[in-house]
């Protein structure tokens, strides 16, 4: 039986989209990877990655390009993975937003808190346990001005990644990866490593939604 094939898109309005394209290239099931900037391009893909970057800028550009509604319709129906700023875009609610708020796409029944770990200088890389995705194996996760999931608002949301950090005397645990049906979100940047296991996971996940 022929292996199922998939056409992938990476939203390329702003942020680290080239790195995602590099990660997807070479995964056998991926027939094509395109940069998505228009509704026409969006409608030609089976699944989408929304990259990291700056969610306020991404939302403003999406609004100016009349992409907010096409993106909202896409994420309601088709597999989408948001990384970092992309995760913020997929959240139903965000705190720590700029004055006046910011546009979100929504879809994930979560609240995220932006820039939870501080400034760019406070970026860090740590080994993460993602048992539902990688079993016992660890994944090196890069956090850059990352958000965290501060609230889960429905039982449709499955937590797939937790980060434990020692802050002074206390151990703090935060949620950094979730899945809700066809949506997947990570607070960190798997595209900035040389490890494409999470990209492989997303491709397999997206294939299960392809007729
Ligand atoms: N690396 C990132 O994507 C940072 C996200 C950024 N802090 C935001 O709020 O959009």
In testing the pocket of ligand 1, which one of 111, 115, 193 has its CB within 8 Å of the most ligand atoms? 115
Q: How much is the pLDDT for 211? A: 73
pLDDT tens per residue, range 93-120: 999 987 778 899 999 999 999 988 888 8
Which residues in the chain show pLDDT less than 50? none
19 flagged as catalytic: no
CA distance 88 to 111: 9
Residue 53 annotated as part of some ligand binding site: yes
Q: Is 59 in the pocket of ligand 1 (CB under 6 A)?
A: no
pLDDT tens per residue, range 165-192: 877 777 889 999 999 999 999 999 999 9
pTM here is: 0.95
Decide: helix, strand or coil at residue 33. strand
Q: How much is the pLDDT for 1? A: 54
Q: How much is the pLDDT for 2? A: 60
Strands 30-36 and 6-11: parallel
Q: Which CATH number fits domain 6-207: 3.40.50.880, 1.20.140.10, 3.90.79.10, 3.90.78.10?
A: 3.40.50.880
């Amino acid at each position: 039986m022929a292996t199922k094939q998939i056409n992938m898109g990476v939203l390329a309005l702003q942020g680290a989209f080239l790195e995602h394209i590099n990660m997807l290239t070479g995964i056998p099931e991926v027939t094509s990877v395109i940069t998505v900037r228009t509704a026409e391009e969006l409608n030609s893909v089976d699944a989408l990655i929304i990259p990291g970057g700056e969610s306020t800028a991404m939302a403003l550009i999406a609004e100016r390009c009349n992409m907010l509604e096409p993106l909202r319709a896409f994420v309601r129906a088709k597999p989408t993975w948001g990384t970092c700023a992309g995760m913020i875009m997929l959240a139903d609610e965000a705190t720590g937003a700029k004055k006046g708020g910011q546009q979100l796409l929504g879809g994930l029944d979560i609240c995220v808190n932006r820039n939870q770990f501080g400034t760019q200088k406070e970026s860090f890389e740590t080994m993460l346990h993602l048992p539902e995705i990688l079993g016992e194996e660890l994944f090196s996760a890069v956090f850059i001005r990352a958000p965290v999931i501060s609230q889960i608002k429905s039982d449709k949301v499955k937590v797939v990644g937790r980060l434990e950090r020692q802050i002074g005397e206390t151990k703090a645990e935060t949620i950094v990866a979730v899945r809700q049906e066809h949506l997947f979100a990570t607070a960190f940047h798997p595209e900035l490593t040389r490890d494409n296991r999470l990209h492989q996971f997303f491709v397999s996940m997206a294939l299960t939604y392809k007729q």
